[in-house]
Amino acid sequence: MQPANEGSFDFAFIDADKENYLNYHERLIKLIKIGGLLVYDNTLWGGRVSWPEEKVPPHTRSGRNAAIEFNKTITNDSRVEFSLTSVGDGLNICRRVA
On average, the pLDDT of the chain sits at 93
Contact predicate 6/66, CB 8 Å: no
What per-residue confidence (pLDDT) applies to 1? 62
Tens-digit pLDDT profile for residues 25-53 = 999 999 999 999 999 999 998 899 999 99
d(CA 63, CA 7): 29
- Per the CATH hierarchy, to which homologous superfamily does domain 9-96 belong? Vaccinia Virus protein VP39 (3.40.50.150)
Please state the separation of Cα 83 from the chain's center in Å. 11
Domain coordinates in residue numbering, the chain: 9-96
Strand partners, 13: 39
d(CA 15, CA 8): 21
pTM, rounded to two decimals: 0.89
